[in-house]
Structure 1
Amino acid sequence: MDIVLTGRHIQIKQKFRDVVESKMNRVTTIAPDAQRVQVVLSHEGNPRLHDTAVRVELTVVAGSTVVRAEASSLDEVSALDLALDKLTLRLRRARDRRKDHRKNYTPVPVDAGKFVPPSEEREDIMGDEDVDNSPASAVAGDLGPGESVEVHVGDTPIVIRRKLHVAEPMSIDEALYEMELIGHDFFLFVNKDTGRPSVVYHRHGWSYGVFEIDTPENIKKLEEERKA
Structure 2
Amino acid sequence: MFRYNVRGENIEVTDAIRDYVEKKVGKLERYFTDVPEATAHVNLKVYTEKTAKVEVTIPLPYLVLRAEETSPDLYASIDLVVDKLERQIRKFKTKIHRKSRETGLDKISPNTYIEDEGAEEEAPEMDIVRTKRLSLKPMDSEEAVLQMNMLGHNFFIFEDAETNGTSIVYRRKDGKYGLIETD
1:117 match: 153
Percent identity, aligned pairs only, is 20
Q: Deviations over 1:10-61 (max 9, x none)?
A: 221211001111122321111332612111111122x3xx3xx101111112
What is residue 9 of structure 2 aligned with on the other side?
Answer: 8
Match of 2:146 in 1: none
Deviation at 1:141, TM superposition (A): 6.2
Supply the AA of the counterpart residue of 2:43: V
What does 1:33-112 align with in structure 2 at a 5 Å threshold?
Answer: 33=35, 35-45=38-48, 47=49, 50=50, 53-104=51-102, 108-112=126-130
Q: Mind listing any 5+ residue stretches in structure 1 that lack a counterpart?
A: 120-137, 144-157, 167-228
Aligned residues between the structures: 129
Q: Distance in 1 between matches of 2:89 and 2:61?
A: 13
Cα 1:160–1:56 shift into 2, 3 Å:
closer
2:46 maps to amino acid = H
Check 1:108–1:160 CA distance in 2 against 1; reply closer, same or farther (3 A cut): closer
User: Could you say if the C-alpha distance between residues 14 and 91 of structure 1 is closer, same or farther in structure 2, counting changes exceeding 3 Å?
Assistant: same
Which sections of structure 2, spanning at least 5 residues, go unmatched?
104-124, 133-150, 166-174
CA deviation after TM superposition for structure 1 residue 139, in Å = 7.8
Determine helix, strand or coil for the equivalent of 1:103: helix
Alignment root-mean-square deviation, CA: 3.4
Corresponding letter in the other structure for 2:82:
L
Q: Deviations over 1:61-82 (max 9, x none)?
A: 2212101111112221111001
Report the secondary structure of 1:4's partner residue: strand
Measured against aligned partners, the alpha-carbon deviations of 1:106-140 in whole angstroms (never above 9, x if no partner) come to: x6223328996349xxxxxxxxxxxxxxxxxx983
Residues 30 and 165 of structure 1: is their aligned pair in 2 closer, same or farther, counting only changes over 3 Å? farther
Instruction: Give me the whole-angstrom Cα distance separating, in 2, the residues matched to 1:64 and 1:116.
Output: 35
Contact 1:26 1:88 in 2 (8 A): no
- Name the SS for the 2:128 alignment partner: coil
- Partners of 2:72 and 2:10 in 1: CA distance: 15
